[in-house]
């Protein structure tokens, strides 16, 4: 994930966003790197096709202003990376990746036909992308890690709060389900003599003893065969 672009000769190397070259005074690279294709041959056309579809959908969903802010944040993160790590070479592919991740988050069931045959929901491709980024964060070089941060910075700004809210809502739902399960698992009736519960024997009838002091219920086996609970008065204690 070093961000190197195809085309070792010609004009392409003069357009790439390389930190050392920018610091040497080649400031045009801050803009021209977005013109460098992120691949070769038909893959470039396919990537451009997907970018136009996904970018158009995001612009329709958000409006032109918000979509342009999203792109500007991605561009700013890439530029910041080459200043923090001058040895880095940022690629427009990272900006395209951020558009892909945003599209997959908003339209997870959109299908891409791999090899023009196999329909795959885009959410699964996004998960693979996140796994690759996670691997790079854990085992990649410092430059790799910075490039991953740059590729996901605008996504985190736009979707981070929503992800946190969804996580908290999911935690609350899990806690509620556990509480409901515990309530359903707990016994409603318990025999004060033998400890039998309605969970142990759903067909057993339980009744309160009118001769016992307080709330004491018993199963039918011990309703008339138990020692009555009687409150001790002060006079008896004396």
* Domain ranges within the chain, ordered by starting residue: 12-176, 187-238
Q: Could you tell me if 3 and 147 are in contact, meaning their C-beta atoms sit under 8 angstroms apart?
A: yes
Q: Quote the pLDDT of residue 233.
A: 54
Q: Could you tell me if 101 and 51 are in contact, meaning their C-beta atoms sit under 8 angstroms apart?
A: no
Tens of pLDDT, residues 137-170: 999 888 889 989 999 999 999 999 988 888 888 8
Say which residues have a Cβ less than 8 Å from residue 86's Cβ, sequence separation at least 6.
19, 20, 22, 23
Q: Quote the pLDDT of residue 4.
A: 43
Q: Which of 62, 38, 63 is nearest to 48 (CA)?
A: 38
The helix/strand/coil state of 18 is strand
Angle of helix 64-84 versus helix 41-62 axis, rounded to 10: 130
- pLDDT, greater one: 227 or 66: 66
Q: Could you tell me if 35 and 46 are in contact, meaning their C-beta atoms sit under 8 angstroms apart?
A: no
Residue 17 parent element (H or E): strand 17-18
Q: Quote the pLDDT of residue 228.
A: 81
Query: How far apart are the C-alpha atoms of 131 and 124, rounded to whole Å?
Result: 11
Asked if the model's pLDDT at residue 175 lies above 70, the reply is yes
| Mean pLDDT across the chain | 83
Q: Enter the pTM of the model.
A: 0.68
Residue 214 parent element (H or E): none
The helix/strand/coil state of 174 is helix
Assign 3 a pLDDT band (cuts: 50, 70, 90). very low
Tens of pLDDT, residues 82-137: 888 888 788 888 888 999 999 999 999 999 887 778 889 999 999 999 999 999 99
- pLDDT, greater one: 139 or 181: 139
Say which residues have a Cβ less than 8 Å from residue 7's Cβ, sequence separation at least 6.
13, 36
Q: Quote the pLDDT of residue 183.
A: 62
Q: Which of 76, 104, 102, 103 is nearest to 90 (CA)?
A: 76
Q: Quote the pLDDT of residue 6.
A: 46
Assign 70 a pLDDT band (cuts: 50, 70, 90). very high
Q: Quote the pLDDT of residue 61.
A: 94
Share of the chain above pLDDT 70, in %: 88
Total count of residues recorded for the chain: 238
CA dihedral of 113, 121, 39, 1, whole degrees rounded to 10 = -150
Strands 206-208 and 217-219: antiparallel
Least confident range from 67-81, 145-159, 175-189: namely 175-189
Query: How far apart are the C-alpha atoms of 28 and 15, rounded to whole Å?
Result: 8
Instruction: Give Dmax (Cα) for the chain.
Output: 109
| Pick among 1.20.1540, 2.60.40, 1.10.260, 1.20.1410: CATH of 12-176 | 1.20.1540
């Amino acid at each position: 994930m070093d961000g190197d672009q195809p085309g070792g000769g010609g004009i392409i190397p003069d357009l790439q966003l390389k930190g050392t070259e920018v610091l040497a005074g080649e400031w045009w690279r801050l803009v021209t790197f977005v013109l460098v294709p992120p691949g070769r041959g038909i893959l470039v056309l396919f990537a451009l096709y997907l970018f136009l579809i996904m970018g158009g959908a995001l612009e329709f969903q958000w409006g032109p202003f918000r979509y342009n802010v999203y792109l500007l944040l991605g561009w700013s993160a890439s530029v910041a990376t080459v200043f923090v790590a001058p040895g880095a070479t940022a690629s427009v592919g990272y900006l395209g990746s951020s558009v892909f991740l945003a599209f997959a988050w908003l339209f997870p069931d959109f299908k891409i036909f791999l090899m023009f045959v196999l329909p795959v929901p885009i959410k699964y491709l996004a998960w693979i992308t996140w796994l690759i980024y996670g691997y790079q964060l854990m085992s990649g070089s410092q430059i790799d890690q910075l490039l991953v941060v740059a590729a996901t910075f605008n996504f985190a700004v736009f979707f981070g709060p929503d992800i946190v809210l969804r996580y908290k809502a999911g935690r609350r739902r899990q806690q509620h389900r556990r509480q409901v399960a515990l309530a359903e698992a707990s016994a409603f009736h318990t025999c004060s003599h033998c400890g039998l519960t309605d969970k142990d024997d759903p067909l057993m009838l339980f009744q309160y003893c009118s001769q016992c002091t307080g709330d004491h219920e018993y199963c039918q086996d011990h309703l008339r065969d138990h020692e009555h609970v009687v409150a001790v008065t002060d006079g008896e204690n004396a």
